[in-house]
Amino acid sequence: MKHALESRIQRQGSGQQKEQDQERLSYAYLFGVVCPATGDTEALIAPIMNMDVMEKHLALIAQKVPKGRHAVIV
């Protein structure tokens, strides 16, 4: 990652090159939770971050929470 940043800074004058550098980069968003009492975890890695992804993560959490219990997400 450091090398990609350095090469973008070195070619800062070229707008077209900046666009090409951006196309090479990809991102991943990590959503994760852990239960301090039991150590149970749930995580989701997604290429985008939006409400649909968050709802999917909340649904995965809901499946892990035992019936009659509550989960607090901060």
pTM of the predicted protein model:
0.60
pLDDT tops 60 at residue 1: no
Q: Which residue has the higher pLDDT, 45 or 11?
A: 45
Closest CA to 64 of 42, 36, 46, 38: 42
What pLDDT digit, counting tens, does each position of 13-72 carry?
555 666 666 677 789 999 999 998 889 999 999 999 999 999 999 999 999 998 999 988
Residue 2: band (very low, low, confident or very high) from pLDDT cuts 50, 70, 90 = low
Measured on CA atoms in the order 47, 49, 50, 54, is the torsion positive or negative? positive
Question: Cα separations (Å) of 44 from 6, 18, 23, 65, 68?
Answer: 31, 30, 24, 16, 24
Show the CA angle centred on residue 26, arms to residues 60 and 57, nearest 5°.
10
